[in-house]
Structure 1
Amino acid sequence: MKNAYTNSKRILFLHPNFPAQFRHLATALAKDDNYQVVFGTNRQEGTIPGVFKAIYEPSRTAAPQTHHYVRNLENAVLTGQGVYRIAEQLKAQGFIPDIIYGHSGWGPTLFMKEIFPKAELLCFFEWFYHARGSDADFDPSEPLSADDLCRIRVKNSPILIDLYSCDRGLSPTNWQRQQFPPEYHSKITVCHDGIDTNYFQPNPGAKLVLPRINLDLSHVSELVTYVGRGMEPYRGFPQFMEAVALIQQQRPNCHVVVVGEDRVAYGKTLADGKTYKQLMLEKLDLDLSRLHFTGLLPYHEYLQVLQASSAHIYLTRPFVLSWSMMEAMSTGCLLIASNTPPVLEMIRDGKNGLLVDFFSPQQIVDKVNEALDNSQDMMAIRTAARKTIVKNYDLETLLPQHLDWLLGKKTSLKSHGFGR
């Protein structure tokens, strides 16, 4: 930890992952000698120049005998306890933060007002859980039990403690802010992390060649792409795969590239232990010579996938919006997306993207056919998609505003949104 700047403002970031949503903020602050930056995290990997990492570790996980309604709360308390112990060490070394900014829900911020009562506590509020009206009851084929209803209500416990304790909070989109109890809306500002539009930009005529994984699609004229952290129903993976089977039947020259890990990042896993990828490959008749699973890709290869895309499919339940959708828009992809609330905050059908029913593989296919058959006519939609991100969600514009908010300076951000 740097000690040369005793008069510097001290910032403590808290997030189980590193650097996650705080990457740009921590990087910018660490470059300025007026700030001393510490990042409390559970993740050993990764560094940011000038940022001191303080690794915390819960003493255990929730006990098997703990009632399943409160296991999430017990894990959050154990995390908060682990962070408290690290905070004691920082305090003993002379680091007493002026500002603490942590991700709410996992528990790292729970006890910060106890050890640092004079610090301003800021929380990143990504999601508030509801049994009705958002993600949990979205799929009619998955009805909720009484246990589900009660468990989901209790799951908000650590978030509610943070809502009460924090001085200020932030959500990345209006839709996500709207999920929180109205009585706390006055505490929550809307500001997206921001998209690096200088990096995610179009490359007209690009072809996809990734030598590292022996993927050469330089001969392909029709390329449909899909990106996700995992492959799961929350991001419409089963419907996407059903659409792929139909696309392959109708378009013999079309190739499909899927970026992401064969796992569930959000939602439930299958009871039999199979992955959703395994399930769909067994269920559907697919030409695997035209279906390419890349796994996770480094940023420069992921960018090449987006730049070469003829049509990019993004599906989501009413849930947290993926960075990948906005990065695809910034890259000028022709977006075919589900007409669900988080998407509707960004996309106007036929203007800057094409919208489909989440549950209709046939609608997805129809839009893909429309897109591929009228590629020149779609250029205006691609251009408008990028303009949407450049105008409203550009990192160069939002980062200074985000920093002003973090530091308590006057900012152009408004609690009811921005840019539109």
Structure 2
Amino acid sequence: MKILFLHPNFPAQFRHVATALAQDSNNEVLFGTKFENPEWQIPGVRKVVFKPSREARPETHHYVRFLENGVLHGQAVFRVAEQLKAAGFVPDIVYGHSGWGPTLFIKDAFPNAKLMCYFEWFYHAIGSDADFDPADPLTIDDMARIRIKNTPILVDLYSSDWGVSPTYWQRTQFPKEFHSKISVLHDGVDTEFFKPNPGAKLMLPNLDLSEVDEIVTYVARGMEPYRGFPEFIESIAYLQERRPNCHVVVVGSDRVCYGKSLPNGETYKNYMLKKVPLDLSRVHFVGSLPYGLYLKVIQASQVHVYLTRPFVLSWSMIESMSTGCLVLGSDTAPVKEVIQDGENGLLADFFSPKQIADRISEVLDHPTRMAQLRQKARETVLERYSLEKLLPSHVQLIKDVANGSLPPENTPTPANVECKV
């Protein structure tokens, strides 16, 4: 089988499945990407770089700049596809992330290839992430721009032969008429890598917390409102008042990955640290970490705090659960699809820093009582999100779609899954 993966950032969600397919000598695996990311190499996977000729012009109407950039990405992939065909490579299937545009013209470039899309998110002005914060109301312009932002995704929904969404709730964001050709299939977590290490002590190259008994962690790609960073910082202030020996470790970059940036280039980290007085000797911003060090952080954590607007679910939450870490999540979708309060983790009001601090203290005050929740967290991942279970299904789905034997209509959402908009 010949397969072409497409994602602007290599290897993204396709790391495990591309690795698995490349291990079969009968497969030829190419990965089209905008950013080659030399730190990542996958044996048997050949990278092909596509370069858009330009970015959307400033004078382009702001509703359609995202679409223009998508078309430019699709155009760049189309040109690479012509080069691949000239070199004798015609894929049986193309598997790409929908939204940025690389998949837009695949059916024109390779008319006989199957197209499978990773459908991660469909934008709504009302009822999910965009209007979640009442302090950040939408304008009419925002609502119109959000509707148009779905244009490249809608083209992919129409063109694709099949699709995948990582959670049931994320699939519900897509138009109902397309649900029947979108499988719910999480990327999977390597539970042999992300496993418990009882009694782990935290030592990083520039941070030694090996003598600290109370460690609270927070992990996100960026420090931003979408992932509850302001609320988390405010919760630390409450926590420090009552727990003089508690240390907090924040993993992530001082940037915005999702949502709006602050004016004048100010970061949310600087803004919140000026707003909230903290004992910074007990708050450690360690930046982004390689997997090995990140693993040490969550293995040593007594409480891992994961906050999010109703939006895409982060890998870090399930990876933390896989290590047997006690996760305190926000009472939002799709967190509630994974965590049941008091069973395999705890939930708190996204907008209540005091409640977040109270629940952290609850865990730290009763470590023995929480042992069963930690065990259940690990069991949840082993049962529902284990790479060992999901990867074979993912590989088989790709083969089925490539061969034209499409899966039957998706089974109903489990009754205990919270997936309402």
Q: Same fold (TM over 0.5)?
A: yes
Confirm or deny: 8 A CA contact 2:180 2:409 kept in the other structure.
Answer: no
Structure 2 SS opposite 1:140: coil
1:339 counterpart letter in structure 2: D
Deviation at 1:86, TM superposition (A): 0.5
Deviation at 1:386, TM superposition (A): 0.6
Alpha-carbon distance between aligned partners in 2 of 1:244 and 1:36, rounded to the nearest angstrom: 50
Match of 1:53 in 2: 47
Alpha-carbon distance between aligned partners in 1 of 2:406 and 2:14, rounded to the nearest angstrom: 20
Structure 1 SS opposite 2:222: coil
Confirm or deny: 8 A CA contact 1:401 1:411 kept in the other structure.
Answer: no
Deviation at 1:104, TM superposition (A): 0.3
Alpha-carbon distance between aligned partners in 1 of 2:268 and 2:193, rounded to the nearest angstrom: 32
User: TM-score scaled by structure 1?
Assistant: 0.96
The equivalences for 1:13-412 within 5 A come to 13-45=5-37, 46-210=40-204, 212=205, 214-408=206-400
Structure 1 SS opposite 2:325: coil
1:246 counterpart letter in structure 2: Y
Cα RMSD over matched residues? 1.4
Deviation at 1:48, TM superposition (A): 1.0
Match of 1:6 in 2: none
Structure 2 SS opposite 1:229: strand
1:258 counterpart letter in structure 2: V
Confirm or deny: 8 A CA contact 2:182 2:410 kept in the other structure.
Answer: no
Deviation at 1:414, TM superposition (A): 4.3
Structure 2 SS opposite 1:280: helix
Structure 2 SS opposite 1:226: strand
Structure 1 SS opposite 2:218: strand
Alpha-carbon distance between aligned partners in 1 of 2:411 and 2:23, rounded to the nearest angstrom: 28
Alpha-carbon distance between aligned partners in 2 of 1:290 and 1:245, rounded to the nearest angstrom: 11
Aligned in 2, Cα 1:195/1:412: closer, same or farther, shift over 3 Å?
farther
State the Cα deviation string for residues 272-329 of structure 1 (Å, max 9, x = none): 3210000011111111110000000111110000010011100000000000000000
Alpha-carbon distance between aligned partners in 1 of 2:152 and 2:192, rounded to the nearest angstrom: 37
Match of 1:3 in 2: none
State the Cα deviation string for residues 317-364 of structure 1 (Å, max 9, x = none): 000000000000001111111010100100110000111000000100
Structure 2 SS opposite 1:106: coil
Is the deviation greater in 125-134 or in 24-33? 24-33
Structure 2 SS opposite 1:209: strand
Aligned in 2, Cα 1:112/1:410: closer, same or farther, shift over 3 Å?
closer
- State how many pairs are aligned: 410
2:309 counterpart letter in structure 1: R
Give the unaligned 5+ runs of structure 1: 1-8
Segments of 4+ in structure 1 off by > 2 A?
409-420
Aligned in 2, Cα 1:412/1:394: closer, same or farther, shift over 3 Å?
farther
State the identity %.
64
Is the deviation greater in 107-116 or in 405-414? 405-414
Structure 1 SS opposite 2:101: coil
Deviation at 1:175, TM superposition (A): 0.5
Confirm or deny: 8 A CA contact 1:262 1:295 kept in the other structure.
Answer: yes
State the Cα deviation string for residues 389-409 of structure 1 (Å, max 9, x = none): 000110011000011111116
Confirm or deny: 8 A CA contact 1:404 1:410 kept in the other structure.
Answer: no
2:264 counterpart letter in structure 1: D
Match of 2:419 in 1: none
Confirm or deny: 8 A CA contact 1:191 1:417 kept in the other structure.
Answer: no
Deviation at 1:258, TM superposition (A): 0.2
Deviation at 1:410, TM superposition (A): 7.9
Confirm or deny: 8 A CA contact 1:171 1:188 kept in the other structure.
Answer: yes
Confirm or deny: 8 A CA contact 1:191 1:418 kept in the other structure.
Answer: no
Alpha-carbon distance between aligned partners in 1 of 2:140 and 2:354, rounded to the nearest angstrom: 34
1:277 counterpart letter in structure 2: K
Aligned in 2, Cα 1:154/1:284: closer, same or farther, shift over 3 Å?
same
Confirm or deny: 8 A CA contact 1:121 1:168 kept in the other structure.
Answer: yes
Confirm or deny: 8 A CA contact 1:189 1:417 kept in the other structure.
Answer: no
Deviation at 1:413, TM superposition (A): 10
State the Cα deviation string for residues 72-127 of structure 1 (Å, max 9, x = none): 00000000000000000000000000000000000000001001111000000000
Deviation at 1:271, TM superposition (A): 1.4
